[in-house]
Amino acid sequence: MTEERAVTVFRDYLRIKTVHPTPAYDEVVEFLKNLAKDVGIQCRTLEVHPGREVVIMTIPGSDPSLPSVMLNSHTDVVPVFENEWKCDPFEAKKMENGDIYARGTQDMKSVGIQYVEAIRKLKKENKLNFLRTIHVTWTPDEEIGGKLGMSKFVQHEEFKKLNVGFGLDEGLANPTDAFTVFYGERTPWWIRVKCPGKPGHGSRFIEDNAAEKVRRVINSFLSYRDEQEKKLKTHGCLKLGNVTTLNLTNLKGGFEGSFNVVPTEMFLGFDIRIPPTEKLEDFEAMMKNWLKEAGEDVTYEFVQYNPMQGVTATDKNCPWWSTFSSVFEKLNIKIETEIFPAATDIRYIRELGIPALGFSPMNNTPILLHDHNEFLNERVFLRGIDIYCELIPALANVPKK
């Protein structure tokens, strides 16, 4: 049976190894430029940092003075443990039932191709007569925080010229018939804690040593983690995005191979995700108190710090939400609203005060981002294109206030 062109394009995109730590960015930029040419839409690139290019595809609106709509996706993917996969994670193998296995199928190469293939379809049907300009943007380095990608992009003069008024970016799969829409994100904080202490020989009881302080820090942080996990499990109405997660991800200290030396300092790394319902200053004050109780001279620094907690309105008074949700009402599709549990590039858009939603049209699909054997069924993928064929014109034709 002949494969639909959109599926072939998707699989070709998946085969480009934009995997960290050495993503094939040059190859993917060339692929996207050729894709835009094939569809027949404007395309340009913007180097926001040496070796980091943003691809911008544009469909001009009839009134360029109106704020535009930005459809964003990132091109990079996370590493894989190949021995845990049932097939080559960059082969984009399609099974008999239509499941396509590859890194990036869900996170988020599918969405970028769905945007473009929806535009191709609308163009063929002569339905690209939009009021507002549409920009399809492709950013690098999202999987490592976006510091050299979207963060640089939104600060660039060329971004300001795009006059973005609303944005779409990635969401998550939903295992049920419904689709999930994310109107905000938890704030990601990565912190590094330094615990200094008195050194000495491993055969002695050294007072005020670094490990004692480390233990107290871990006890405080992980006790709070237990409280939040219990809160999530005992309140059926809560989702992961409604609570704070706090995980110890790094622990370093001592000399390699030396087991008889009590070190002068030890370091801990924590990944913290704080929901918009919690005040960041209150959480930081609580954290400072934990470190003070752990012992003298225990300090911390932010490896990643985000001071903003932007959310997008989900009521009928917001024209963007009203338009977005009305499309699903028209299609008789159920949507569920949530706070995104992790962090995406769209946070940089919300920090500018621009309303934005996270949405990946994947239902009846297990959540497998960053997991082994990530896959997406081609029927789900193709249905997503049809959904964007309704969404894109609706958003591009939101009337002037």
Active-site option among 53, 107, 142, 170 = 142
Residue 157 has pLDDT above 80, yes or no: yes
Residue 99 annotated among the catalytic residues of the structure = no
CA distances 374 to 93, 106, 119, 209, 377, Å, are: 11, 7, 26, 45, 10
- Of 304, 334, 357, the residue that ends a domain is 304
100 touches 82 (CB < 8 A)? no
Mean pLDDT of the chain: 96
> The domain containing residue 145 runs over which residues?
5-171+344-396
262 touches 202 (CB < 8 A)? yes
Q: pLDDT tens-digit profile of 307-366?
A: 877 899 999 899 999 999 999 999 999 999 999 998 899 999 999 999 999 999 999 999
78: domain CATH number is 3.40.630.10
Q: How far apart are CA 242 and CA 338, in angstroms?
A: 8
CA distances 357 to 182, 196, 331, 384, Å, are: 6, 44, 19, 16
Closest CA to 397 of 122, 18, 1: 122
Count: domains in the chain = 2
According to the model, what pLDDT value does residue 237 have?
Answer: 87
160 shares its domain with 33: yes
Residue 345 annotated among the catalytic residues of the structure = no
According to the model, what pLDDT value does residue 257 have?
Answer: 85
Tell me, yes or no, whether 329 lies in a domain: no
77 shares its domain with 149: yes
Span 354-381, average pLDDT: 97
Active-site option among 76, 107, 117, 141 = 76
Span 57-73, average pLDDT: 98
Q: How far apart are CA 398 and CA 166, in angstroms?
A: 11
Residue 88 has pLDDT above 70, yes or no: yes
Q: pLDDT tens-digit profile of 214-225?
A: 999 999 999 999
Over the range 333-363, which residues count as b (16 or more CB within 10 Å of their CB) and which as e?
bebeebbbbbbbbbbbbbeeebbbbbbbbbb
According to the model, what pLDDT value does residue 219 have?
Answer: 98
